[in-house]
Structure 1
Amino acid sequence: MAIDRGSEVTTQLLTLLNVSATKAGKRKWEEGDNKPSEKLNKRKTLHFEDIPRPQPSTSATTLEDTETRKSESEEVQKDEDEEMEDKTEAVEEEKEEDVEDPYEVHFGANSKLVTDSRREIADNKSWKTSKGKHGKLGGIVEYFTDESTKLESNNPSKIAILDRLKAPFEEHQSKLPKELAALQNALLSLLASQRDLYITRTTLETQQSLREAIALHALNHVTKKRRRVLKNNERLTHASKAGTAAPEDVQDQGFTRPSVLVLLPFRSFALRWLSAFTTHTPSPSYQVENRSRFESEYGLPAGAVDKLATAEPGTYPKDHVEMFKGNMDDSFRVGIKLTRKSVKLFSEFYGCDIIFASPLGLRMSIQKEKNADFLSSIEMLIVDQVDALTMQNWEHVQFVMSHLNQLPKESHDVDFSRIKPWYLDGHAAYLRQSILISAYETPETRALFNHSLKNVAGKVRTERKWQPISVPEGIDQNFIQFECSGPKDEADKRFQYFTTQLLPSVLKSAVQSVNTVVFVPSSFDFIRVHNYFRKTPGINFTVLSEYSTNQDISRARQSFFNGKKSVLLVSERFHFFRRYKLRGIRNLIFYAPPDHAQFYTEFLSYPFMDDGVEPSDVTCRVLYSKYDWLKLERIAGTEGASELITRGTL
């Protein structure tokens, strides 16, 4: 298999080289070419939609957006001036470089991590595993290829951050509670090992601190990469002036410049990540260009009032406020270029270092341009709020993942003599570091971790025991298990049990056949159940889904509360996006346990919004199989879920 793959990669690469050499204006790579290399991804002509619009400055440390109206030649000159300063920095800070730096060991041109045996283990998913603890991150499950890639619990990786980034970080961290500071340090020490990390459980209190630590790690990565490129540029220039042969060890680039991709569900999270990144930039000299435009396009429109942010505490659940306050647009992408003294927002994609984007925004861009070359050299992938992305269209995430680290279709004026060997070998996916952050796990997110992450340095998944969720006392919770032979027939077996046994027993009861809510987590199952209700006589129902209009919602809630409709069919995505409180409930049927455990508690508490309701008046049935383990664990607790799976009773 390795030979076949190598042949395929070689063929594609030769094709790319030939295309590069024959296109007009492209630089042809020849053996023995000793000319100093042009800078990576030299600037291209800006399109009209890429030209930033001037906006008033919002802070003393932000450049006026009128800078964006300068001619291209002026901006290029400014970039060159800053690069000269960066070269000086690279020379002055050269003493910081360490050949044993985890960055150089992992991402350096001479990285020896990608071996045939390790690639085979990653491809076949035959990882070795072990369990342990890692500071405030708590319990972890480690996946490794061999003992040399196994974490040493007694000798954690150092936090290898450059001094110029570490200073503002430590100053900011000193103001945090000790628990959060310890959590950040544990996270940074693990990230320094360059392993993939899947944080499976976050709280509202820790999310921004986690973002700040991860942003520092990403900034450190981009800075070290830039310094290496600038240092080699200087070496090539000296060799050219001296008339000597160019040094051979100058492989320091990928096919394209962007190296960090941050996937986010909504525009509001891009603002939070920008804040996390700029927390570590030296102030007051550091400048953020086009910030006012960014805040305008990624915040709320001028004069708009955020009802969630301004509502009295307790009006909406805290997690709902944190998720949906601000700009909820889910189609966006923005390039960010880093220099020594500035962050340049709205940089064109092939000239930026970091990309903030939603899965939908990237997919639309890729399909429009008919290539994803700007994703060919991503060395760090960060996916925030993975649980929220499962409530959108998960296929968009899978689409983006399938286009990461593929050989580009065009050369983009890159100097092939400076591309790292493992890029040319088509092995970039085996070195990419991926960081997933989620409030809870789902089968989709676990599958993403298991099947799409192939970092041969290893990967780590956090693991903690869950305690039973609190529900109103006195309610009889009836967990009903159905049997299925495998995950492929699970959906059919669930539907069969629901339509032939559970639903008929409910409809026969005069009490349980009215004031009944059927809660369906999966969109596929929701459509299936909805169609069944429509075709079955005798079911007087109404529907609340994520596609319901405000008028539909008002009509459905009113008719259910007044008893005009006996059954209310609700999708989990509706509750995720709307979070309405529903009155008139006496009977609850969970077609499957909800992904978000808090939804279970909320629906069981809704009947008590009505006067005179006793716990004995409320019934609750939960249909589940052994493949609902992750959901059950969050509701019944780790021990309770184990008992449910083995005995079928709570």
Structure 2
Amino acid sequence: MNSAEDTSEDGPGADSDDDVIDSDDDDDVQTGASGKPYLSLMQSLVESAPHKAKRRKLDHPSAEDRTEQPTPESAVNAAGEDDDENSEDVDRVEEAEEDPADVKPEDLFDYDDEEADAEDPFETHFVDLDQALLLPRLKAIQEDKWRTHRVVAKPMRTLIHTPGVGDPSDSGDSALLPRPVSGISGLKLKKKLSETMGPKHATFDPTEQTIAPLLFNYSDLLYCNRTVAGAESVRRMACLHALNHIFKTRDRVVKNNDRLSRQQPGSEDLELRDQGFTRPKVLIILPTRQSCVKMVEMICNIIEPTQQENRKRFDDGYTDKQSKFSDDKPDDFQDLFAGNDDDMFRLGIKFTRKTIKYFSQFYNSDIIFASPLGLRMAIGSEEEKKMDYDFLSSIEVVIVDQADALLMQNWEHVEYVFEHLNIQPKDAHSCDFSRVRTWYLDDQAKYFRQTVVLSAFNTPELTELLRVHCHNWAGKARLQQECAGVLQQLGVKAKQTFSRFEVPSVAGDPDARFAYFTKAIVPALAKRGAKDAGGTLIFVPSYLDFVRVRNYFANDAAAESITFGTISEYADVPEASRARSHFLTGRHRVLLYTERAHHFRRYQVKGVRRVVFYALPDNPLFYAEIAGGFLQRSEQALLLDPSRGAVRAMFSRYDVMKLERIVGTQRVAKMLNDQGDTFDFV
């Protein structure tokens, strides 16, 4: 076992303790492809770099090159603050891609002597495929023909999307849902996982029972009810599913290796297609290093490894036990930002018999953990002329956890990663093409990949991700709970007025919103007398809208009498403190405040007498914290009359998801369709 103190990136035995090259499942199915993708792929790989087919050694770029042109083999410092050229990047790996000829028998992964179960979703999804079902579905997906079924499955609203199957008017067809699962015994798990999980977690809680049937059935899943209380349950199911997939994939490869080794000379060659182009099979996208730590700890808790190679190095680079904020922060904030909140990382992990090895080179890994930023920098860009995304070519399970937090980072990075999934590789990477599944060769891997997105709530970005990048032939599901709303959770007496403005199209929403704001909101602010002038906080979720409103207050004659301050996600601590102080003392009558500033800082702003929501927040908790918490703090600090608190919120018909979470499912339809455009709540 290597110790974490090893100063060399190439630890002892780096080329000898990997398992088997690739782990895809056996599948001889012909999906009706013409064969051209296979021929073009083989030709491109031969022409690209035939001398690299056996082993690819890694370059050793300088510290400056690692910063400017990151690759999976030379990762940029996860903290993004490598001031010392000689400082070691904790995520950087200098390890050669493993050659199957170098793998020793004692390093192979143990496999269970189990017979394949014909009812196992793993078998039916990847191995023993029903051609009569598969081929029509692949054709429907390629033609973008999907049927949507609304299924009544309390307490969740469930939408099932099947490729070209069923009547679009179908409703309440519970047969579309996999059978319920109440515990470990109801899952088709590998024996080793059942033995470790059974004694300590035999029965599932309600959260696990909700997601387990679809998760283990290999359907794409958008789960929109991830809570802090249920976070551990969600992680447990995600990790258990990922491990089950890896172990079943690996066992098949090892068994087939054993069959080939026993084959008699001169006998007919066995055609055993059980692999992909590269080894990594599971990609887990997370917002912070601490989120990665929680996932890794859950994996260790499930499989109970005898050894953990490079664990100290992992702890040093990923854990942070220092308290960085006070205990009065909300639970969701502490859950996300406690510990190491760095959002730039990528980590490869591989499994051997009894060992977990951290910081394995991507092409030698079973699971890749990464933030969207870290993975995008690992892939590179066309401008850098040094792109590498072959390690994503054979990903079969993608898990995006805490997607609501990723929306507060840069969502374009997530989209960039999905655009580079399951693309046929540029290099061979020691691949044995006689073992590669047929649908990989036919460039159909994206139709077999399962994507799991776990979020506290749904947004248009998540829905679009499911629509554009999820092509699973097994279908996809969206689980979303009905909302009670947060109008009664303010904790303070305040009149809440929701004003609807008309919008011709989605593209016209920003202009229509700005026009309504300048005509209906600003004049009232400008006319207020000096006695009742201050204390207006304007919440602007989008930074682009924030800049537009800020420039309007700074330059337009209609707002010249309004003094204002700003707090955005780019404001440093002194700047934000000055803005809050000037707002409290009345020097600034208006304070512009962005959603990301609140997400990352959770400032407690005093002096708020009225709140204007330029647009509703995605996170309904923010509405309660700003509309209720800020007014409540101001009452206590300034002895305000509670009846003077007022909230004004602007919305259009394209804000339906946000509005539903705030006013509740029962009210949202009336507010969107009613002839009136103003709705008051107290």
The normalised TM-score by structure 2 is 0.81
CA distance in 1, matches of 2:144, 2:608: 46
Q: 2:161 aligns with which of 127, 133, 143?
A: 143
CA distance in 2, matches of 1:107, 1:624: 45
AA at the equivalent of 2:429 = H
Q: Would the aligned equivalents of 2:492 and 2:631 in 1 still touch at CA under 8 Å?
A: no
Equivalent in the alignment of 2:120: 101
CA distance in 1, matches of 2:522, 2:46: 65
Is 2:491 the counterpart of 1:472? yes
SS of equivalent residue, structure 1 residue 98: coil
Equivalent in the alignment of 1:627: 654
Equivalent in the alignment of 2:516: 497
Equivalent in the alignment of 1:61: none
Equivalent in the alignment of 2:469: 452
Give, in angstroms, the shift of residue 472 of structure 1: 3.4
Q: Would the aligned equivalents of 2:74 and 2:94 in 1 still touch at CA under 8 Å?
A: no
Give, in angstroms, the shift of residue 187 of structure 1: 2.6
Is 2:673 the counterpart of 1:646? yes
AA at the equivalent of 1:232 = N
Equivalent in the alignment of 2:592: 569
CA distance in 2, matches of 1:615, 1:450: 46
CA distance in 2, matches of 1:413, 1:154: 38
AA at the equivalent of 1:183 = T
Q: Would the aligned equivalents of 1:114 and 1:456 in 2 still touch at CA under 8 Å?
A: no
Is 2:308 the counterpart of 1:280? no
SS of equivalent residue, structure 1 residue 144: strand
Q: 2:317 aligns with which of 297, 321, 325?
A: 297
Give, in angstroms, the shift of residue 47 of structure 1: 5.6
SS of equivalent residue, structure 2 residue 612: strand
SS of equivalent residue, structure 2 residue 647: strand
Give, in angstroms, the shift of residue 595 of structure 1: 1.0
CA distance in 1, matches of 2:492, 2:585: 26
CA distance in 2, matches of 1:43, 1:228: 26
Q: Would the aligned equivalents of 1:593 and 1:631 in 2 still touch at CA under 8 Å?
A: yes
Q: CA RMSD in A?
A: 3.1
Give, in angstroms, the shift of residue 614 of structure 1: 2.1
Q: 1:118 to 1:74 in 2, by over 3 A?
A: closer
Q: 2:291 aligns with which of 269, 292, 298?
A: 269
Q: Would the aligned equivalents of 1:16 and 1:411 in 2 still touch at CA under 8 Å?
A: no
Q: Which runs of 5+ in 2 are unaligned?
A: 1-30, 67-72, 76-91, 168-172
Is 2:214 the counterpart of 1:190? yes
Equivalent in the alignment of 1:217: 241
CA distance in 2, matches of 1:372, 1:275: 27
Give, in angstroms, the shift of residue 398 of structure 1: 0.7
CA distance in 1, matches of 2:95, 2:612: 63
SS of equivalent residue, structure 1 residue 546: coil
Q: How does 1:56-71 map to 2 (within 5 A)?
A: none
Equivalent in the alignment of 1:600: 623
SS of equivalent residue, structure 2 residue 606: coil
Is 2:609 the counterpart of 1:582? no
AA at the equivalent of 2:44 = L
Give, in angstroms, the shift of residue 94 of structure 1: 3.2
CA distance in 2, matches of 1:295, 1:494: 48
SS of equivalent residue, structure 2 residue 604: coil
Is 2:458 the counterpart of 1:434? no
Q: 1:208 aligns with which of 207, 228, 232?
A: 232
Q: 1:615 to 1:8 in 2, by over 3 A?
A: farther
Equivalent in the alignment of 2:195: 167
CA distance in 2, matches of 1:74, 1:407: 20
Give, in angstroms, the shift of residue 289 of structure 1: 1.4
AA at the equivalent of 1:317 = P
CA distance in 2, matches of 1:450, 1:232: 37
Equivalent in the alignment of 2:43: 15
Equivalent in the alignment of 1:38: none
Q: How does 1:325-340 map to 2 (within 5 A)?
A: 325-340=338-353
Give, in angstroms, the shift of residue 635 of structure 1: 0.8
CA distance in 2, matches of 1:51, 1:552: 36
Equivalent in the alignment of 1:34: none
Aligned length: 597
State the Cα deviation string for residues 179-225 of structure 1 (Å, max 9, x = none): x5343244323222110111111111111111111101110100011
SS of equivalent residue, structure 2 residue 615: coil
AA at the equivalent of 1:216 = L
CA distance in 1, matches of 2:187, 2:393: 28
Q: Would the aligned equivalents of 1:337 and 1:344 in 2 still touch at CA under 8 Å?
A: yes
AA at the equivalent of 1:523 = Y
Equivalent in the alignment of 2:506: 487
Is 2:541 the counterpart of 1:521? yes
CA distance in 1, matches of 2:94, 2:565: 58
AA at the equivalent of 1:193 = N
Q: 1:545 to 1:154 in 2, by over 3 A?
A: closer
State the 4+ residue runs in structure 1 displaced beyond 4 angstroms: 3-8, 42-52, 68-79, 113-116, 147-154
Q: 1:76 to 1:633 in 2, by over 3 A?
A: same
CA distance in 2, matches of 1:220, 1:154: 18
Q: 1:197 to 1:278 in 2, by over 3 A?
A: same
State the Cα deviation string for residues 75-101 of structure 1 (Å, max 9, x = none): 9999524445x3xx43xx333422432
Q: Would the aligned equivalents of 1:516 and 1:589 in 2 still touch at CA under 8 Å?
A: yes
Equivalent in the alignment of 1:118: 137
Q: Which runs of 5+ in 1 are unaligned?
A: 28-41, 53-67
SS of equivalent residue, structure 2 residue 510: helix
Equivalent in the alignment of 1:63: none
Q: 1:43 to 1:293 in 2, by over 3 A?
A: farther
Q: 1:114 to 1:504 in 2, by over 3 A?
A: farther
Is 2:151 the counterpart of 1:129? no
CA distance in 1, matches of 2:97, 2:50: 24
CA distance in 2, matches of 1:335, 1:392: 22
Q: Would the aligned equivalents of 1:506 and 1:512 in 2 still touch at CA under 8 Å?
A: no
Q: 1:8 to 1:485 in 2, by over 3 A?
A: farther
Q: Would the aligned equivalents of 1:156 and 1:190 in 2 still touch at CA under 8 Å?
A: no
The normalised TM-score by structure 1 is 0.85
Give, in angstroms, the shift of residue 105 of structure 1: 1.5
Give, in angstroms, the shift of residue 111 of structure 1: 6.5
SS of equivalent residue, structure 1 residue 517: strand
Q: 1:256 to 1:547 in 2, by over 3 A?
A: same
Segment drifting more, 502-511 vs 369-378: 502-511
SS of equivalent residue, structure 2 residue 649: strand
Is 2:319 the counterpart of 1:319? no
Structure with more helix by fraction:
1
SS of equivalent residue, structure 1 residue 621: strand
AA at the equivalent of 1:389 = L
Q: Would the aligned equivalents of 2:402 and 2:454 in 1 still touch at CA under 8 Å?
A: yes
State the Cα deviation string for residues 312-352 of structure 1 (Å, max 9, x = none): 4xx11111111100111111101111123111110001011
Identity percentage of aligned residues: 36
Q: Would the aligned equivalents of 2:58 and 2:94 in 1 still touch at CA under 8 Å?
A: no
State the Cα deviation string for residues 228-258 of structure 1 (Å, max 9, x = none): 111111122222x53323202x111111110
Q: Would the aligned equivalents of 2:208 and 2:233 in 1 still touch at CA under 8 Å?
A: yes
SS of equivalent residue, structure 2 residue 239: helix
State the Cα deviation string for residues 570-604 of structure 1 (Å, max 9, x = none): 00000000001000111211001111111111112
AA at the equivalent of 1:450 = R
CA distance in 1, matches of 2:114, 2:550: 66
Q: 1:618 to 1:365 in 2, by over 3 A?
A: same
CA distance in 2, matches of 1:70, 1:356: 18
Q: 1:606 to 1:110 in 2, by over 3 A?
A: closer
Q: Would the aligned equivalents of 1:43 and 1:76 in 2 still touch at CA under 8 Å?
A: no
Segment drifting more, 316-325 vs 603-612: 603-612
SS of equivalent residue, structure 1 residue 294: helix
SS of equivalent residue, structure 1 residue 202: coil
AA at the equivalent of 1:122 = I
Give, in angstroms, the shift of residue 536 of structure 1: 2.0
SS of equivalent residue, structure 2 residue 274: coil
Q: 1:171 to 1:78 in 2, by over 3 A?
A: farther
Q: 1:512 to 1:623 in 2, by over 3 A?
A: farther
Q: 1:389 to 1:123 in 2, by over 3 A?
A: farther
Q: Would the aligned equivalents of 1:144 and 1:150 in 2 still touch at CA under 8 Å?
A: no
Q: Would the aligned equivalents of 1:134 and 1:153 in 2 still touch at CA under 8 Å?
A: no
Give, in angstroms, the shift of residue 415 of structure 1: 1.1
Q: 1:370 to 1:72 in 2, by over 3 A?
A: closer
AA at the equivalent of 2:280 = P
AA at the equivalent of 1:435 = V
Q: 1:16 to 1:133 in 2, by over 3 A?
A: farther
Q: Would the aligned equivalents of 2:180 and 2:209 in 1 still touch at CA under 8 Å?
A: no
